[in-house]
Amino acid sequence: MAKQAPPEPAEETNKSWKIGVLLVIFLLAFSGILVRLFIIQIVKAGEYRALARKQYESRIELKPERGRIYDRNGHIIASTIKSVSFAVDPRLVEHPHTIALALESLTGDSASVWEHKIRTSKKSFLWLARGNIDRLSLLDTLQDAGLIKVKEPRRNYLFGNAASQIVGCTSVDNQGLSGVELALDSLLKGEAGFMIMQRDGKGNLRPSVDLPTNPASNGHSVQLTLYRYSERSPWRMEALRRV
């Protein structure tokens, strides 16, 4: 049986060169992966952690209760009550047309306009209507994963429009706009708090005891020397003080 001829030196050199090229390519690729991991885990670690938190955490504002306004005799002129407002998470809305039809009957704006807002919004929270539950009861009957029911503080004036030029009024966000409500807004409004909630796989927000929470600080009440001698006499004000 004939013996196989030993490989030529040129063939050995060519084979070694190919192996060397493959090793260099492998080392370059491995080095690239290591550099990429270093950038992700060390250089940009904080940035990527922040992006991850945005996906599964959400900061919810805790609104304070606005301070009361009393008359000279200790009767409440203005207080805060709970009202119900509605918003949506457009990404989770299942029946945008049904919600739009309900909003049309409440606001008078076209259902097509509302539906376009819901479908094209890039926000995760879109206000629909804010106010009293009696007026928004139609929305309260709808069943939709994207519909959000929010309890909000709303100013209530026990004497209606009486002395309204003195007492003033607040906005839908419970901020003073005129009168005592505006002049003493920093005292009455309090300080908002917050809580961090986790978002599950379906997009629903869940509270967690491990995440930070800062409770809201309610506003201070004030007492006016506002009074009237009888139901028909005008209100009078001499001074005011904090209580």
What SS3 string covers the chain?
Answer: CCCCCCCCHHHHHHHHHHHHHHHHHHHHHHHHHHHHHHHHHHHCHHHHHHHHHHHHEEEEEECCCCCCEECCCCCEEEEEEEEEEEEECCCCCCCHHHHHHHHHHHHCCCHHHHHHHHHHCCCCCEEEEEECCCCCHHHHCCCCCCEEEEEEEEEEECCCCCCHHHHCCECCCCCECCHHHHHCHHHHCCECEEEEEEECCCCCEEECCCCCEECCECCCCEEEEEECCCCCCCCEEEEEEEC
- Domains of the chain, CATH where assigned: 58-75+158-243 (3.90.1310.10), 81-154 (3.90.1310.10)
Residue with tokens 């192996």: 19
pLDDT at 184: 93
The pLDDT of residue 239 is 45
Could you read off the pLDDT tens digit of each residue along the chain, which spans 243 residues? 555 555 556 666 666 777 777 888 888 888 888 888 777 777 777 776 666 666 666 777 788 889 999 988 888 999 988 877 888 888 888 888 888 888 888 777 888 888 888 888 887 788 887 766 555 566 777 888 888 877 778 888 888 887 888 889 998 788 899 999 999 999 999 998 887 776 665 556 565 656 667 888 899 999 988 876 555 555 554 444 455
What per-residue confidence (pLDDT) applies to 117? 85
Sign for the pseudo-dihedral over CA of 196, 201, 203, 206 = negative
77: alpha, beta or left? (left if phi > 0; alpha if psi -120 to 50): alpha
pLDDT, residue 54, reads 63
pLDDT at residue 204, rounded to an integer: 61
**Which pLDDT does position 36 carry in this prediction?**
80
pLDDT at 153: 81
Report the C-alpha gap between 93 and 224 in whole angstroms.
Answer: 48
Residue 39 C-beta-side C-alpha neighbours within 13 Å: 6
Which pLDDT value is given to residue 136?
59
